[in-house]
Amino acid sequence: MKVPPATTSGRITVQTPDGKATSPTDFTVPLAGNDDNFETTVRASVTGDPVSVAVTEAGKRARVFFDADQDQSISVGFTQSTFTTAPTVTLVDPQGKTVGTTGYLNTGSSDYEVRDLPVSGTYSLVIDPPSSATGAAVVTVSHPAGGQLTFTSDPAATAMTRAGQDGAWTFDAAKGDSFSLGIDTAGMSDDMNVRLYAPNGDQLNSLSVSKAYYSSLDTDALPTSGTYTLYLDPTNGATGTATVTVSHYASASALDPTGSAVQLGITRPGQDGTLSFTATAGQKMSLGVTPTGFSSYVTGYVYAPDGTKVDSFNVSAGSPAEWDSAALPQTGTYRLRMSPDHLGTGTLATTLSRTVDVGSLTTTGNTATASITRFGQNAQATFTAAAGDDLSLGITGNTFTTTVYIDVIAPSGTKVVTSAALSSQSLWTRGLSDLPESGTYTVVADPYQGAQGSLIGDFVRRRERQCHRRQQLGHRHRRPPRSAHPRPVHRSRR
């Protein structure tokens, strides 16, 4: 019988005026190159039972037929493999063209997948051992589990119950949308790889998640509008259930250095939150953050107006935290992204403050007062000194009920005093001996856990050099010289 050129492998359907019938077995069109070398040819279904293939003679191959539609994705699980050398796995479409990439059938369990099939019809999965290798395996063909999500959907359970089955979820988004993914693999028997695909099929991002664990994936701004795909790929054909949640970033009103604390609520697993504030280049700002409801820490990332990362800090569960900037590098709007660990949810009360500027201190000036009235706020003062100067820093009043840490920073940025602890309501004097540089020094007061209070003192006063002091003392108490004429000696008479 002559076969038309466009004929493909698969079941033959014959239609007449009296009806239509489909053959119970497959009609095979030879593939290019040594097609008679298939020892095993079996048919599988994406919803049917697993099938077994075997290659018992060196140099032979095995083939699995299955039907699929255009734009569908398929995943294949290989179990109970006895091949000691891994055969290659390729997928041939109904037109005889190889699609996807080459995979490998490893000993034990493994998997293989191809996304976005090009045409509808019968596909051929070709298993080709190395020339001397033989063995057998169980093959399961599936469509990915999943469906469609929105940014407000409840967490979605992805039940991957067939060996090698993957998960695939789609969601629609606009260009510039923020994106957070929370994924929980508590129900998985092995690790999982997660990939995010853009509407044009390009991979945007990926992460690996250990079995029975959790992770998150965040994108500040999606690159284009359209339908995105979230692909879950368990390793080694593993089965189980993974729960996914997609969200936009949570947001709150802008921070104001003279306003009240801003409440940022993060309510969805894996969700990040954003805050913003404006500042000018050279300013120093402080943040005080009080967490509520989080089971683990939250990491804060600070970004400059041009998008570069300035710094990061951690907020422990149930404990207030603070962040103090160096001189900020740019003028404009800064962005703060808060990323909870362990898919945490809760509320962050965040206070922005400018550093209290006490002004310039002198060795002959009056006492100065630093009043800190906002959670997380710092205070600073400056003084001018020459290299080699001996000075002292004194605190004569202290209303803080917790520790205050004092830094003294040289003109170059080197710390002369680092985190010197001033205890609750205590007084304090610290010598600054033989200062290393000439120029303007900065004194910074940083209360523990953002406490409020006041420090009063003659912050800087000159301390006399000890050698000079000794010279003065020596001059003041020097004995007069002995007389040149010796005193007469009186002897007693007998």
In whole angstroms, what is the distance from residue 366 CA to residue 14 CA?
A: 106
pLDDT band of residue 99 (cuts 50, 70, 90) is very high
Q: Is the pTM of this model over 0.75?
A: yes
Tell me 468's DSSP state. H
* 23 pLDDT higher than 70: no
Low-confidence winner among 88-97, 246-255, 357-366, 424-433 (lowest mean pLDDT): 357-366
* 69 pLDDT higher than 60: yes
Classify burial at 151, counting beta carbons within 10 Å of its beta carbon; exposed 0-12, middle 13-18, buried 19 or more. Answer: middle
**Is the separation of the CB atoms in 228 and 171 below 8 Å?**
yes
When pLDDT is averaged across residues 49-67 and rounded to a whole number, the result is: 96
Going through 309-463 in order, the beta strands assigned E by DSSP cover: 309-315, 321-324, 332-340, 346-354, 356-361, 368-372, 379-385, 391-395, 397-398, 404-409, 415-422, 428-432, 439-447, 453-457, 460-462
* 13 pLDDT higher than 80: no
pLDDT band of residue 7 (cuts 50, 70, 90) is low
Give the model confidence (pLDDT) of 103-158 as tens digits: 999 999 999 999 999 999 999 999 999 988 999 999 999 999 999 999 999 999 99
Token readout for 251 is: 């947001």
pLDDT band of residue 366 (cuts 50, 70, 90) is confident
Put the strands of the sheet holding 460-462 in their side by side order.
Answer: 428-432, 391-395, 460-462
**Is the separation of the CB atoms in 9 and 29 below 8 Å?**
yes
pLDDT for 368 equals 87
- pLDDT above 90 as % of the chain: 80
Classify burial at 424, counting beta carbons within 10 Å of its beta carbon; exposed 0-12, middle 13-18, buried 19 or more. Answer: middle
Which amino acid is present at 17?
A: P
pLDDT for 17 equals 76
Q: Which residue has the higher pLDDT, 90 or 3?
A: 90
pLDDT for 15 equals 67
pLDDT for 469 equals 41
Token readout for 414 is: 């080197």
pLDDT band of residue 481 (cuts 50, 70, 90) is very low
When pLDDT is averaged across residues 315-326 and rounded to a whole number, the result is: 95
In whole angstroms, what is the distance from residue 266 CA to residue 58 CA?
A: 60
When pLDDT is averaged across residues 446-455 and rounded to a whole number, the result is: 95
In whole angstroms, what is the distance from residue 124 CA to residue 74 CA?
A: 12
Which amino acid is present at 280?
A: T
**Is the separation of the CB atoms in 448 and 421 below 8 Å?**
no
In whole angstroms, what is the distance from residue 336 CA to residue 273 CA?
A: 8
* 491 pLDDT higher than 70: no
pLDDT for 11 equals 62
Contacts of 77 (CB under 8 A, 6+ apart): 50, 109, 110, 111, 139, 140, 142, 162, 163, 164, 165, 237
Closest among 445, 462, 443 to 454, alpha carbons compared: 445
Give the model confidence (pLDDT) of 159-217 as tens digits: 999 999 999 999 999 999 999 999 999 999 999 999 999 999 999 999 999 999 999 99
Closest among 226, 136, 217 to 183, alpha carbons compared: 217
* 55 pLDDT higher than 90: yes
Closest among 138, 114, 117 to 127, alpha carbons compared: 138
In whole angstroms, what is the distance from residue 305 CA to residue 140 CA?
A: 52
Token readout for 25 is: 């077995």
The mean pLDDT of the chain is 89
pLDDT for 458 equals 74
* 3 pLDDT higher than 90: no
pLDDT for 87 equals 97
Closest among 80, 23, 24, 28 to 51, alpha carbons compared: 80
DSSP H or E run through 316: none
pLDDT for 36 equals 67
What are the CA-CA distances from residue 109 to residues 73, 106, 301, 362 (Å)?
A: 20, 6, 41, 76
* 468 pLDDT higher than 90: no
Which amino acid is present at 169?
A: W
* 482 pLDDT higher than 70: no
Alpha carbon 160 to its chain centroid, in Å, reads 27
Q: Which residue has the higher pLDDT, 179 or 28?
A: 179
